[in-house]
Homo-oligomer: A and B are copies of this chain.
Amino acid sequence: MPTYLTQHQNRFLEELLDWLRIPSVSADPKFHGDVLRAADFIKDRLLEAGATLVELCPTAGNPIVYGEYMAGPDRPTVLVYGHYDVQPADPYELWTSPPFEPVIKNEKIYARGACDDKGQVYMHVKALEMMLRDGGLGAPCNIKFMFEGEEEIGSDNLGIFVKANKEKLQADVILISDTGILANDVPSIEVGLRGLSYHEVEVTGPNRDLHSGLYGGAVMNPINALCDMISSLHDENRHITIPGFYDNVADLGPAERAELAQAPFSAEAFTQSIGLPAAVGEAGYTTPERTSIRPTLDVNGIWGGYTGEGAKTVIASKAYAKISMR
């Protein structure tokens, strides 16, 4: 390990843990202040690392942190992308340690955002610091950083920012460390990612909650109706039935699929790690294909009616679901 890293390892770690302590949950407005704090935090780290220009760029939503170090006009340019926002941490009761109080076990850091995406963002910033600070060899290329705060909620403002800042963001290579690897000992390069379409569905039935003894059987129950709708979105081959859904999906040819099949993927390790007897999905495709080249539809949340202790024989007036398509 380069001397600089060994010398500063403790400080690096403490800084990262401090960043992980900020609950920058972009989905929930009550964490808005924390989201802004997380942006400020990484802006300051970029400045300390030696970036020559660092800006907190406002958007209609959360700010984008832009930073750069220009080694020279003749050098190639790398644009590093990352995000400082995190997914909601609930249900909290399933965490074995609090999500925003990082703990280290077996050399792994456990905290919300540790590997999505604060850890990776931090690594890139510290790489810059190592290159530029005392004894560093200097940057071999121009490096630009663009860290957004809305990745977990659909990146609504990123496209607008990118279009408005074409020149500034110009680069030869874009480097994104916000994906997975096939296994801890299999370095992996992703060449494409699925997008995301996220929807909240509200089904309204009767104008108030009804007693299922008096009304059951004679009115369409919104929860039952919602389940019918959701169920109808897949056919028996787990093929999505929404008209036109696959229209713009590129169908990979045999050669490309053969190449994908060569990746060292272990079906057994996959199912074992998530505690399922078998992987399932769209007929005619392998597990790696199902999670990469094929679009999907998942219900990410559902609620309606009585969800407390014991029994309540209510026909709920409304039912809700959060549905994502990738």
Residues of chain A at the chain B interface (Cβ within 8 Å)? 26-30, 87-88, 90-91, 94, 116, 152-154, 180, 193-194, 196, 198, 205-221, 223-224, 226-228, 230-232, 234, 270, 274-276, 279-282, 287, 290-291, 294-296, 298-317, 319-322, 324, 326
Contact = CB atoms under 8 A, between A and B. Distances in A.
Interface SS, A side: loop
Given A28-B310, A87-B312, A282-B217, A298 B230 contact: no
Contacts of A322: 305-307, 311-312
Tally of this chain's copies: 2
A43 B279 CA distance: 59
Contacts of A274: 206-208, 210, 215, 219
A300 B276 contact: no
Contacts of A307: 301-303, 320, 322
A278 to B, nearest CB: 9
Nearest to A206: B274
A313 B324 contact: yes
Given A276-B205, A296-B212, A302 B87 contact: no
Given A216-B298, A300-B306, A300-B312, 17 more contacts: A27-B310, A28-B310, A180-B214, A198-B311, A205-B276, A215-B291, A216-B296, A218-B290, A219-B276, A223-B230, A224-B231, A224-B298, A227-B227, A227-B231, A300-B305, A300-B316, A301-B307
17 contacts: A27-B312, A29-B309, A90-B308, A91-B209, A207-B274, A207-B276, A217-B290, A218-B287, A223-B302, A223-B321, A226-B227, A227-B227, A227-B230, A300-B305, A305-B322, A306-B322, A307-B322
A317 B291 CA distance: 18
A308 B220 contact: no
A310 B26 contact: yes
Nearest to A153: B311
A198 B232 CA distance: 26
Contacts of A291: 214-218
